[in-house]
Amino acid sequence: MRVLVTGAAGFIGYHLCRRLLHEGRGVVGADNLNAYYDVSLKQARLAQLQALPGFIFRQLDLVDGPAFTALLATHGITHVVHLAAQAGVRYSITNPHAYIHSNITGFLQVLEACRNQGVAHMVYASSSSVYGLNQDLPFSEHRSADHPVSLYAATKKSNEMMAHSYSHIFGLPTTGLRFFTVYGPWGRPDMAYWTFAERILMRLPITLYNHGLMKRDYTYIDDVVEAMSRIIARPPAPDPAWSATTPDPASSSAPWRIYNIGNSQPIALGRFVAVLEQTLGIPAEVILSDMQAGDVEATAADITSLDRDIGFTPRTSIEMGLERFCRWFTAYREGRAGIGNRAQ
């Protein structure tokens, strides 16, 4: 197995590359190092990876289809994990074209390259945001998700449908992963938990939207990469029980599959902040505000299928996960990026 990870300098990509390298896999990372958030953080992650034997990095934009196809051919790639994307729900409201460029056009180039190079399995990042207006908790892949409330979510749902067409027409095995609020060391500065920790440490107020009445299925990064590592090695087969008269939205007569990757234990925002306060040893000053556009009140993952198919059970409590994040975060702010990078 030789794996190409796109978005390798990103949060999940970084951790997945480390995991695969420690498993002895050959790993090639690709990233365009865009400036959506602090590029120095991406470069710091990349420096950690480049210090590990067996890691190869190439900087490129996935929209450059010929260059991406050549990358697969040159390195004999057998499996692709496509994590590169324009992230952020609220950013998609003000910068919609960036999402079409990266998440639609870029995704098409990845599909084409995987098809042309005969890749054994393409795994790609979807998002829990595709559930949109669905309020039937916990969210199940086996129920429809056709009413996204942000363009970001719409592009991720589109990715699932694009992948299905390639699985159906060309027999390309594809698996989409709907991530639920991933957090942990080396995370993203635009995520709420990072912002909360930063502002609490600076003794600045934090804003809780929907007056704090939010629930999220916070999923620790080590649990996420454990599930991903197992899934990469299990390309989907056509579902012999699938029926067009009673279609299952999570499987197909093609080699195509959708999984939720979540903790399956949603946490109220108030409790999340309380654990963060306790971990940092500093009380938070809270401002309550109305719901933001494109947001949803609660998320919760049904991971029954994940447990059945790969034996995945998340193991990290919110207390343990935030303790590991805060330990890394305080070291990172002090310029000691290598300290606690594995958050053991």
Domain-located, residue 248: yes
pLDDT value at position 173?
98
What is the torsional sign of CA 188, 227, 71, 92?
Answer: negative
Domain-located, residue 344: no
How would you write 215-241 as a 3-class SS string?
EECCEEHHHHHHHHHHHHCCCCCCCCC
Over residues 215-264, the pLDDT tens digits come to 999 999 999 999 999 999 999 999 999 999 999 999 999 999 999 999 98
Domain-located, residue 224: yes
pLDDT value at position 336?
63
Domain-located, residue 338: no
Report the domain count for the chain. Answer: 1
Catalytic pick from 152, 166, 183, 218? 152
Domain-located, residue 342: no
Domain-located, residue 343: no
152 noted as active-site residue: yes
pLDDT value at position 87?
86
CATH number at residue 151: 3.40.50.720
Domain-located, residue 116: yes
Regions of the chain short of the pLDDT cut 70:
294, 336-344
Domain-located, residue 101: yes
Q: Nearest CA to 188 among 28, 27, 22, 38?
A: 38
Enclosing domain of residue 222: 2-333
